[in-house]
Amino acid sequence: MYKVSKNIKILSFTLMIIGALGIAYGFYSAPKTIEQAKELVADSHGHGHSNDSDSHSYEEADHSDSKEGHSASHDEHLLHKLQNRPWSSIYVAALFFMFLSLGTLAFYAIQRASQAGWSPLLFRVMEGITAYLLPGTLIILVILILSAMHLNHLFVWMDPEVVAHDKIIQGKSGYLNSPFLIARAVFYIFGWNFYRYISRKYSLAQDTSSDISNHKRNFQWSAGFLAFFIVTESMMSWDWIMSVDPHWFSTLFGWYVFASMFVSGITTIALITIYLKSKGYLEKVNHNHIHDLGKFMFGVSVFWTYLWFSQFMLIWYANIPEEVTYFITRIEDYNLPFFGMIALNFIFPLLLLMNSDYKRVNWFIVMTGIIILIGHYIDVFNMIMPATVGDKWFIGIPELSSVAFFAGLFIYVVFNSISKAPLEPSGDPLLKESEKFVY
C-alpha cells in the first residue's frame, strides 16, 4: 500500500494556494470598463511587447458588427477579450488536466478491452490518474454553466446579440445552444465517470475474488466504453473546443484532440510510474514496462503530428477564406506557440525517443515526458486562446497560476486515490504475464 508522502501533500496544497491567489489576481487585474481596457492596451503598446497592428480583423468576422457604431463595438470587443483572459487561462488549464485523466482512461480501457498482457502491473497507477476525471469534468461543467449564464465571453455563440447579426451561427443554433450544450456535457461526463466507477469497482473486487468473473465484466464494460468514448470524445471536442470558433470547422478535429489527450495521458502514466518506482513502490515494474510506455509516447507523438499536419495542410493548400482564418490568426498572432509546439510535440520526442535503448532510461523518459506535457498544454492553449483573447495573449500570471492550481489539485486527487488501493492488482489473471513481460 502506498501512503501519500508529506512532500506530495505540501506540494499539492502549495500549488493550489499559489494558483488560487494567482487566479484571483488575474480576475482583479482584468479591466472592468471599456476605458480601463483602452488604457491597458495603450500601456502595453508603450512597453512595446506586443507587435499587433490591428491584425484581429479575422476575429472581427465572428462578431460581424452592423456598419454603424463600429468603433464602439470594437472597443467592447477589446474589453471582452481582456476580460476573457483569466477565464480562458482557467479553462485551458482545466481542459488540459482533465485530458490527462480522460486520455489515461481511454488507454486503460484499451488495455482492458484488448486483454493486454504487459500492462496489468500499471492498472492501479492508471486508475489513480483517472480518479481526477470526476473533479476535472465537473469543473469544466461549472465553467460551461457560468459561460451559459453570460458571466464570461468564452463562447461568442452564447451571446444572443452576436447570434442576431450572424447568419452562420443562426444556421448552427439547432446544435449550438446553451441548454443543449449543457445537456450533452452532462451526458458525456456521466458516461465517462460511470465507466470509471464501474471499472474501478470490478478491478478492486477482482483482487479478492476466486474466479475471473469480475475481470470478464470489466472487459465487457471496457469494450462498450470505447465505443461510447470515441463518439462522445469527438462531440466533446466540437462542443468544448471547436465551438469557441463558431464559424470554423474541421472534420478530424475530434481525432486531433484525442491524439493530444492520449499522448499526454500515457506520458502521465509513465511519469507517475517512474516517481512511484523511485520511492521504492511497484517493485515488479521494470524497464520493459517503461520501454513500452516510451514506445507509446513516441508513436502517439508522431500520430498527433500526422493529424495536426493533415488538418493544417489541406486548409493551407485550399486557402478557402472561412477555413484559413483559423490558421492565419494562429500564424500571425501566435507564431511562437503555434510553431514552437511542433518542436516540443514532434521534433523532441522523435529524436529523443527514437533509439530503443533510450526508452529504457528513466531520466530520458522523464525529460521527454515533461517536454511533451508542456507541448500539449500549449496545444490546448492554441486551441482556445486565439478565439477568446485574440492577439491579447501572454503566458503570464493568470495562465501559470491556473496551471499551478490544477496541477496541485491533480496531484492531490491522483496520489490520494493511488493510496486507497494496493498497488498490485493481485487478482488479475494476466498479472503473471505482466511480471514476466520482456518487451
Per-residue burial over 90-112, b = 16 or more CB atoms within 10 Å of its CB, e = otherwise: bbbbbbbbbbbbbbbbbbbbbbb
How many Cα atoms occupy the beta-carbon half-sphere of 188 within 13 Å?
Answer: 24
When asked if residue 309 is in the footprint of another protein (CB under 8 A), the reply is yes
Give 246's DSSP letter: T
Residue 385: closest CA among 135, 120, 56, 33 = 56
Strand, coil or helix: 238: helix
- 356 contacts another protein (rule: CB under 8 A): yes
The answer to whether residue 321 forms part of the interface with another protein (CB under 8 A) is no
Q: Does 28 engage in binding with another protein (CB under 8 A)?
A: no
Contact with another protein (CB under 8 A) among 67, 208, 318, 363: 318
All three cell numbers of 200, joined, read 474501478
Interaction of residue 192 with another protein, rule CB under 8 A: no
Question: Containing H/E element for 262?
Answer: helix 253-278
The least CB distance from residue 293 to another protein, in Å, is 20
- Closest by alpha carbon to 81, among 38, 119, 123? 38
**Count of residues touching another protein (by CB under 8 A):** 11
Q: Which of 17, 142, 183, 354 binds another protein (CB under 8 A)?
A: 354
* Nearest distance from C-beta of residue 313 to another protein, angstroms: 5
How many residues are given for the chain? 439
Looking at beta carbons only, is 42 or 438 nearer to another protein?
438
Asked if 316 interacts with another protein (CB under 8 A), we say yes
320 counts as binding another protein under rule CB under 8 A:
no
* Binds another protein by CB under 8 A, chosen from 14, 170, 278, 319: 319
| Exposed / middle / buried, residue 278 (Cβ in 10 Å: 0-12, 13-18, 19+) | exposed
> Could you tell me which stretch among 167-175, 253-261, 313-321, 415-423 binds another protein (CB under 8 A)?
313-321
Pick the piece of the chain touching another protein (CB under 8 A) from 117-125, 262-270, 350-358, 416-424. Answer: 350-358
Residues that bind another protein (CB under 8 A): 309, 312-313, 316-319, 354-356, 438
